[in-house]
Structure 1
Amino acid sequence: MDSTRRRNSQAALMSLEAAATSARGGFGCRFSTSEEFEMALITERRAQGRYDQRRMRWPAIMFIGCALIVAGTVLLFG
């Protein structure tokens, strides 16, 4: 009976030590500097397509339209 209890407590202790070692390993950072972290973050976001250069044409069209209206007004009243 005593040897069974000793084995169970020893197994529990070894399991606890293994869990503690595993938990300590989880706190380590895989990046040594903030530059490495930022570079990895940007690379991942580019892979996801977040930094695509989709140009909106509406601002340019609106600017040209307003410029034509202003030019027409100047020519009309000038």
Structure 2
Amino acid sequence: MAHGPTPLRLDPAYEKYNQLNKERYKYFKWTPRTAWISFMYAVFVPSVVGYVFAKTDGKYDMRGKLRGDTISEF
């Protein structure tokens, strides 16, 4: 690797964003809003998706269907 000036000019706004993103843990604070969002993404959404997949497991079959055939198995 060559050490010296980079051939590209770095964008100061992007560099600031990158630095903030690396140190995000220093500025994070638990609030009711962040707790609610975390709960939704960690518990609620996967539960709903899992429930829908479990209820429709085996109901639809896309393989070997011809025009006019139904995709619903039951």
Length-normalised TM-score, structure 1: 0.32
**TM-score (normalised: structure 2):** 0.33
Relative contact order: is structure 1 or structure 2 higher (C-alpha 8 Å, sep ≥ 6)? 2
